Structure 1
Amino acid sequence: MRSEEPVPGLRERTRRAVHREIAEAGMRLFLERGFEETTIDQIAEAAGISRRSFFRYFGTKEDVVLGDLVDRGRRVRDALVERPPEEEPWEAVRASLLSLRTVQPVDTDRELRIGQMLHRTPSLRARHMEKQLAWKELLVPELARRLRGADDPDGTAAEHRSAAIVATALACLDVASETWLRLDGAVPLEQLWDEAVSAVRG
């Protein structure tokens, strides 16, 4: 079990609240006007801050859309830590990924619009791939720890297997997401992921 995280202080809570307000203002503008048509100055104005203040919270405009992706990866990692140690690795990874969809109610229409924006914007797609690498760095060591056995004293085999599983799981998530967008959300994303994984695993 993971020890409880320390409660953030007032300054950190305030920072998180401002970060969230800027992100929400940006997403509203992106969905109304389009990602490339929206400027940083417009986001700052909508959030009631200066352009300089914007850069205290976000490095780029793309980070307004994808800035929480690493935090989401940490939540998946934490969920993986909590899975039963005897659970089959693919089931553990699946349950950990699904934990993201139970944190808050899923707004399918909003997710579709964000996904379509991400899919058709080259800079967002490139940034998404970059940040997804961070998920691998978070998940592979934990999965390797679960898979390491007595016949693998230095953990090399477990890490190799874990890297393959995590890379494949994330690739299947990308494929499932693209199909989900094409179908306008008519088929649940988790079903499409299961089908993609089944195709790979034979």
Structure 2
Amino acid sequence: MADLDTTAPASGTAPSGRSSLRERTRAAMRAEVSDVAFRLFAERGFDNTTVEQIAAAAGLSRTTFFRYFGTKEELVLGRVSEFGRQVADALAARPAEERPWDALRRAFDVIAEPQTGEPGPPMDMIRLLSDACALMTRHWEKTQGWQSMLAPEISRRLGGPDPAIDMRANALAAAAISCLDAATDAWTAGGGATSMPDLVDQAMGILRESDDVPG
């Protein structure tokens, strides 16, 4: 991989087309470095993989690595945010007549369903987060950020007020995320013996049975 320098010119304003190309180049480079890093994490473990090793494997200098990622942890947590956006997109795409709790459950398929065959990237992420204890607090903070992505669509389905003050939508989104967290914890503790979709069904089913969630 070439050691690209995508910094902006020292003066002047680049045309919008050039700026767009630079942004696409930066996004592509970040994705490529991320893929290299996750391969190394899988081989050596998160804690045993250094920034220098990631940069060398990606064909970058250490300095150039830090143009794309502020820290090694950002590689992982950035993907957590990406998964949140994927869940939010999946939720918005669910049938309009589907009840909110059911729509949330099906939106989580973008994370859960790869576990029906070979583990997919989201499940690799769960393993990584479980092995890298230092990331867990920040991972929790990131997943709580999913709530702000999911609540507006839930509020719309409930016919609620401003999503920012719709307690029902925020409570449902937070509860669903907690169910997903419980399912992933159980999946990790059990060594993946039970399929992730079944565990998410069980976790979300507990709340459906114990409380009258609008599912």
Q: Same fold (TM over 0.5)?
A: yes
1:182 aligns with 2:193: no
Bigger Rg, which one: 2
* TM superposition score normalised by structure 1: 0.82
The letter of the residue matching 2:185 is E
**Contact kept in structure 2, 1:172 and 1:197, CA below 8 Å:** yes
* Structure 1 counterpart of 2:98: 87
The alpha-carbon distance between structure 1 residues 42 and 200, as it changes in their structure 2 partners (threshold 3 A), is same
1:1-16 to structure 2, matched below 5 A, reads: 9-16=20-27
Unaligned ranges ≥5, structure 2: 1-18, 211-215
Q: CA RMSD in A?
A: 2.8
The alpha-carbon distance between structure 1 residues 129 and 32, as it changes in their structure 2 partners (threshold 3 A), is same
Higher mean C-alpha deviation, range 154-163 or range 76-85:
154-163
Deviation of 1:182 after TM superposition, in Å, equals 2.0
Aligned-partner Cα distance in 2 for 1:156–1:13: 32
Structure 1 residue runs of 4 or more that deviate by more than 6 Å after TM superposition: none
| Aligned pair partner of 1:166 in 154, 166, 173 | 173
The letter of the residue matching 1:73 is G
1:28-177 to structure 2, matched below 5 A, reads: 28-100=39-111, 107-108=118-119, 114-148=125-159, 154-155=161-162, 159-177=166-184
How many aligned residue pairs are there? 191
**Contact kept in structure 2, 1:29 and 1:43, CA below 8 Å:** yes
1:196 aligns with 2:203: yes
Percent identity for Structure 1 against Structure 2: 43
**Contact kept in structure 2, 1:62 and 1:123, CA below 8 Å:** no
The alpha-carbon distance between structure 1 residues 59 and 107, as it changes in their structure 2 partners (threshold 3 A), is farther
**Contact kept in structure 1, 2:99 and 2:157, CA below 8 Å:** no
Deviation of 1:107 after TM superposition, in Å, equals 3.4
SS at match of 1:169: helix
1:25 aligns with 2:21: no
- Give per-residue Cα distances to partners, 1:11-63, cap 9 Å, x unaligned: 33322221122111111221222211211111111111111221222122112
- Give per-residue Cα distances to partners, 1:112-168, cap 9 Å, x unaligned: 55433311322211121121122111111221122125xxxx447982111111111
* TM superposition score normalised by structure 2: 0.77
The alpha-carbon distance between structure 1 residues 54 and 129, as it changes in their structure 2 partners (threshold 3 A), is same
**Contact kept in structure 2, 1:108 and 1:185, CA below 8 Å:** no
Aligned-partner Cα distance in 2 for 1:193–1:77: 17
Aligned-partner Cα distance in 1 for 2:76–2:203: 26
